[in-house]
Structure 1
Amino acid sequence: MYEEKTIESKEIYNGKIINLKVEKVELHNGNESYREIISHPGGCGIVAIKNNKIILVSQFRKPINQNILEIPAGKLDQYEDPIDCAKRELKEETGYSANSIKKIGQIFTSPGYTNECIHIYYTDDLTIGEMNLDQDEFVNIEEIEISEVLRMSKCGEINDGKTLAALLLAFNYLKI
């Protein structure tokens, strides 16, 4: 196994959602290099199924300047348990409450430059209720047949990384 030893670390930016630092590291062969690292508190996403339909949300994402189809997901609050985050995000973004929930995996979104980890959950035990979006959040709920979501994933109509990974984990869990 290769490891990199941190020689020095300098914080460049400390924001609301992310922090950026540059680290000088010693490589396995003794050479030195620099790593730009984004620290992120992590998040949760949930694959929610009701009546053979997967509940997805469509929202505009400024970094890519387009609307994108995603599983309900969001950032962990400080000291928040991931399961509570998944339930909260599902309720906020869709109005659905999960009566029972199961963790089916976790992913590192892009470990080449960030430590962001997203915990992935599954539920098919839902109760409808009221949405409670953040004041800067605007989403459309899309309830799509499982077979159609599978087709959309295969042909590139769903291209959000966490959503594709979550669907793979869910389909494996469901043996689809």
Structure 2
Amino acid sequence: MNFYEKTINQSSIYKGTIIDLEVHDVELPDGKTSKRELVYHNGAVAVCALTPEQKVILVEQFRKPAEKPLLEIPAGKLEKGEARELAAKRELEEETGYIAEDLEVITEMYGSPGFSNEKITIYLAKDLKEGQMQLDDDEFLEVSYYSLSEIESMIRNHEFEDAKTIIALQHLLLNYNDYK
């Protein structure tokens, strides 16, 4: 079956520094029409980082849409034209003070493909070296370190609410023996 939705008309609602919002009139596969509200985002990267002591690095920061702090793997948005791997290395050092020489792609994912084109590339970082934390002026977070057994317990107790973090940590737990 052809699931393609042809855009008949589109209008820009908002152009921001992080997202753009458009409304599209689309023709559905059955010939009927509908509206789609679309959020365009330049993309993001996230890093599941494992210290030489086999501790997972997490950051806690307030997330306005959730109206509470969330515990997450380090992550951030891509700058225009920035390579994903370089962005991941930059975000890891800025948020945690650690430098990753090598990154391995865990997965690429759309967080909410029903309305947003934001694609997040999740990396695994090992063999970390110390660098220097450099938070953005509007960024406030706390870095913490967890053993794999603590991470496993936290997942079982539903302590994580961020999808990219859950995916990355479950991947790490399932494949840890391959990363030793």
Change (3 A) 1:155 1:2: same
Q: Which residue in the other structure is 1:3 paired with?
A: 4
Structure 2 CA distance for aligned equivalents of residues 75 and 125 of structure 1: 24
Partner of 2:145: 143
Specify the code of the residue in structure 1 equivalent to 2:164.
K
In structure 2, what is the equivalent of residue 16 of structure 1? Answer: 17
CA distance in 1, matches of 2:148, 2:22: 41
Match of 1:107 among 100, 106, 109: 109
Instruction: State the AA in 2 paired with 1:41.
Output: N
Deviation of the 1:100 alpha carbon:
1.5
What is the correspondence of 1:1-176 to structure 2 with a 5 Å cutoff?
1-50=2-51, 51-174=53-176
Q: Which 5+ residue runs of structure 1 have no aligned equivalent?
A: none
Is this contact kept in 2: 1:22–1:35, CA < 8 A? Answer: yes
1:113 & 1:77 partners in 2: Cα distance?
21
When the two structures are superposed, what TM-score results if normalisation uses the length of structure 1?
Answer: 0.96
Give 1:90 deviation, angstroms. 0.2
Shift of 1:169: 3.0
Cα separation, 2, equivalents of 1:136 and 1:129? 21
* CA-CA distance at 1:45 after TM superposition: 0.2
Over 3 Å counting, the alpha-carbon distance change for 1:112 and 1:175 in structure 2 is farther
* One-letter code aligned to 1:159: E
Return the offset for 1:175. 5.3
Q: Output one character per residue of 1:112-149: Cα deviation in whole Å (capped at 9) or x when no partner.
A: 00000000100111011220000000110010011111
Contact 2:46–2:88 (CA<8 Å) still a contact in 1?
yes
Identity %: 44
| 2:109 and 2:120 in contact (8 A); partners too | yes
TM-score (norm 2): 0.94
Distance 2:6 2:117 in 1: 17
**How far off its partner does 1:74 sit?**
0.1
Distance between the aligned counterparts of 1:175 and 1:114, measured in 2? Answer: 35
Deviations along 1:77-121, one digit per CA (max 9) or x if unpaired, are 000000001000000000000021111211100000000000010
Q: Where does structure 1 differ by over 4 angstroms across 4 or more consecutive aligned residues? A: none
Kept in 1: contact 2:148–2:173 (CA 8 A): no
Structure 2 letter corresponding to 1:112: G
- What secondary structure sits across from 2:65 in the alignment? helix
Which has the higher mean CA deviation after the structures are superposed, 142-151 or 81-90? 142-151
Partners of 2:19 and 2:177 lie apart in 1 by 36
